[in-house]
Amino acid sequence: MSVEILKQYFQIEPETSFLDGKYFRYLKEGKLYTLVPVTHMKEDVLVELYLMAEHLSRQGDRNVSTFCASKDQKFLITHQEEDYVLLLNAYTRVPSKRNLGRKLAKFHRRGRSIEVQIQHTSSIGQWKIYWEKRLEQLEKVWYQVVQENPNNEFDHMFVETFPYYMGMCENAIQYLVDTELDEETFDIDAGTVCHERFNNEVWGNRMWIRNPFDWVFDHASRDIAEWIRHQYFKKSKSFLPDVQTFLEDYQSVTPLSNFSWRLIFARLLFPLHYFECVEQYYLTNSEKQHKQLEERLHKYKRDSTEYESFLGTFYRLMGRDPSIWNIPEINWFNIST
């Protein structure tokens, strides 16, 4: 199907194809093509992703996917009642030394200079609304499970743990509100091109690609916090050196303001990992996924005091002494020594 679309609408006959993450890539004369289904995406969102990609490409990012026009000079094509866009990249393998902190800082710096107003893909200033809505939705699920009586191990763990994570969520919202009221913002706190969930794999394991369909317009702290969260849960016993190096590298390009540091902390305090685990469990019918998510929730429950300890010492671990930088801390954490 994909090869047929490439031939019919773009006059491209690929020499070879391969699976790279969740996408098939098609190679033709040293160029990579990726066909992305977009049937359920709003046109306003697609336009903004196109504008961000064009901007970053003009700013010198050679790994950004750009939108490829069809033979009819259209960026959006419809085939058998399904909509698609085609992304174009140079054939670039993932470098042996990623230096991800510096590269992310440069990516953010380029994104901040975009002059068009981004609205439909923007989450700037919206975290409180999103978090409150998410908490309200999960609280309704919790009440329903309680009323119907928990009938499996996951239900029991969810009923038991939700009040704790609800408290953590409320603390995160209050910390965010206080940050927005108290802290001065600087140029580096302007909105930029970010990622829905930034981690080591987002830019590719095989090919080095910045995919617009991973993006959201937000404060840079979003990417930094989600990268730290991912590293923490990936290797909680040995994450610290990687995180410290990442932040040092990032700040060698763009030093972080107090406002940025506090947004990073607020985002880590918001238990997104817990919310996503529970939400995925109740949205899927897959027994295999149910088992995996049950194991994940058990791990979160078992290791919650360790995560508290991480949050309680976060600023100091990252070389940002709160007493020197006048950053408020949260005093209820279990801080192990």
Contact 145, 155 (CB under 8 A): yes
190-202 pLDDT tens trace: 999 999 999 999 9
* Residue owning tokens 């940025």: 260
Q: C-alpha distances in angstroms, 122 versus 99, 107, 219, 248?
A: 27, 17, 9, 27
Contact 68, 88 (CB under 8 A): yes
> Would you say the pTM of this structure is higher than 0.75?
yes
The Cα–Cα gap between 276 and 38 comes to: 23
Q: C-alpha distances in angstroms, 252 versus 88, 105, 247?
A: 31, 9, 8
Domain range summary for the chain, segments of one domain joined by +: 2-92, 127-203+217-325
CATH 1.10.287 fits 127-203+217-325, yes or no: no
Q: What is the mean pLDDT of residues 238-256?
A: 96
Predicted pLDDT of residue 334: 60
Give percent of the chain with pLDDT exceeding 70: 99
Contact 119, 48 (CB under 8 A): yes
285-298 pLDDT tens trace: 999 999 999 999 99
pLDDT grade, residue 337 (50/70/90)? very low
Side-chain half-sphere exposure of 231, counting CA atoms within 13 A: 21
Tokens of 189: 């706190």
Predicted pLDDT of residue 335: 56
Side-chain half-sphere exposure of 37, counting CA atoms within 13 A: 11
Q: Which of 39-48, 276-285, 326-335 has the lowest mean pLDDT?
A: 326-335
The Cα–Cα gap between 280 and 293 comes to: 8
The Cα–Cα gap between 263 and 314 comes to: 13
Q: Do domains 2-92 and 127-203+217-325 have the same CATH topology?
A: no
The conformation of residue 319, written as its DSSP 8-state character, comes to T
Model confidence at 27: pLDDT above 70: yes
The Cα–Cα gap between 17 and 15 comes to: 7
Contact 183, 259 (CB under 8 A): yes
Predicted pLDDT of residue 2: 87
The Cα–Cα gap between 207 and 165 comes to: 38
Contact 107, 249 (CB under 8 A): no
The conformation of residue 130, written as its DSSP 8-state character, comes to H
Out of 1.10.357.10, 3.30.465.10, 3.30.200.20, 3.40.50.2300, the CATH code matching 2-92 is 3.30.200.20
Predicted pLDDT of residue 67: 97
